[in-house]
Chain A
Amino acid sequence: MSEILLQIKNIRKWFNSQEKELMVIDGVSFDVREGEFISILGPSGCGKTTLLRIIAGLEKQDEGEILLRGKSITGPGQDRSMVFQDYALFPWRTVLGNVLFGLEIRKIPKVEALEKAKKFIKLVGLEGFENSYPHELSGGMRQRVAIARALVCEPEILLMDEPLSALDAQTRNVMQSELVRIWQETRKTIIYVTHNIEEAVYLADRIAVLSRRPAKLLDLVEVELERPRNRFSKEFIELRARIFNLIQG
Chain B
Amino acid sequence: MRVKDFFIFFFSIGIFLVLWEAYYWIFISNPFVLAPPSKVIVTFIQLTLGDPKFADSGFQMLTDMAYSIYHYALGFASAILVGFSIGLIAGWSKTVEKLIYPIVELIRPIPPIAWIPIAILLLKLTHTAAAFIIFIGAVFPILLNTMYGVSSVEKKYVEAALTLGATKTSTMLRKVIIPASMPAFFNGLRVGSGVAWMCVVAAELFGVSQFGLGYKIQLARLYHSPDVVISYMLAIGIIGLILDRIYRLAEDRLLSWRRGFVVE
Residue A39 is within 8 A (CB to CB) of chain B in the complex: no
Contact across chains for A105 and B159 when beta carbons are under 8 A apart: no
CB under 8 Å from chain A, chain B span 150-185:
156-157, 159-167, 171, 175-176, 179-180, 182
CB distance from B250 to the nearest CB of A (A): 15
Main secondary structure on A side of the interface with B:
loop
Do B257 and A101 have beta carbons less than 8 Å apart? no
Query: A56 at the A/B interface (Cβ < 8 Å)?
Result: yes
Q: Report B-chain residues with C-beta under 8 Å of the C-beta of A78.
A: 165, 167
Q: Which residue of A lies closest to B258 (CB)?
A: A91
Q: Does A84 make an interface contact (CB < 8 A)?
A: yes
Of the candidates A75, A94, A105, A136, which one forms a contact with B164 in the assembled complex, judged by CB atoms under 8 Å apart?
A: A105
Within the assembled complex, what's the spacing in Å between the Cα atoms of A136 and B166?
Answer: 26
Q: Decide: A56 and B257 in contact? CB cutoff 8 A.
A: no
Total residues of chain B contacting the partner, CB 8 A? 24
User: Which residue of B160, B260, B261 is within 8 Å of A88 (Cβ)?
Assistant: B160
Asked, given contacts A78-B165, A86-B156, A153-B165, whether A105 binds B171 with beta carbons under 8 Å apart, the answer is yes
A136 to B, closest residue via Cβ: B260
B165 to A106, Cβ gap below 8 A? Answer: yes
Give the complex CA separation of A106 and B165 in angstroms.
Answer: 8
Q: Looking at the assembled complex, report how far the CB atom of B172 sits from the nearest CB atom of chain A, in whole angstroms.
A: 10
Q: Are the CB atoms of A84 and B165 closer together than 8 Å?
A: no
B171 cross-chain contacts in A, Cβ below 8 A: 105
Residues A81 and B261 in contact, CB atoms below 8 Å apart: no
Interface string of A199-242 (1 = CB under 8 A from B): 00000000000000000000000000000000000000000000
Question: Which B-chain residue is minimally distant from A59 (CB atoms)?
Answer: B159
Residues of B within 8 Å of A56, CB to CB, are: 163
Q: How many residues of A are counted as interface, with CB atoms below 8 angstroms from the partner's CB atoms?
A: 31
B residues in contact with A76, CB < 8 Å:
159, 162-163, 167
**Nearest CB of B to A194, in Å:** 19
- 1/0 per position for B232-262, CB-CB distance to A under 8 A? 0000000000000000000000011111110
Chain A residues in 8 Å Cβ range of B159:
58, 76, 82, 84, 88
**Please, which residues of chain A bring their CB within 8 A of the CB of B180?**
90, 92
A167 shortest CB reach to chain B, Å: 19
With A84-B160, A88-B159 given, is the CB distance from A135 to B260 under 8 Å? yes
Let me know if A102 and B156 touch, CB within 8 A.
no
Q: Which residues of chain A are within 8 angstroms of B175 by Cβ–Cβ distance?
A: 101, 104-105
B residues in contact with A164, CB < 8 Å: none
Interface residues of A (CB under 8 A from B): 56-58, 75-78, 80-82, 84, 86, 88-94, 101-102, 104-106, 133, 135-136, 149-150, 153, 159
Give the 7 A-B residue pairs with the shortest CB-CB distance, closest first.
Answer: A135-B260, A82-B163, A88-B160, A78-B165, A76-B162, A88-B156, A102-B164
Given contacts A81-B165, A105-B165, 19 further A-B contacts (CB under 8 A): A57-B163, A58-B162, A58-B163, A76-B167, A88-B159, A88-B160, A89-B160, A91-B257, A91-B258, A91-B261, A92-B255, A93-B257, A101-B164, A105-B171, A106-B165, A135-B259, A136-B260, A150-B163, A153-B165
Partner-A contacts on B (CB < 8 A): 156-157, 159-167, 171, 175-176, 179-180, 182, 255-261
What are 8 A-B residue pairs whose CB atoms fall within 8 Å in the complex?
Answer: A76-B162, A81-B165, A92-B182, A102-B165, A105-B171, A135-B261, A136-B260, A153-B165
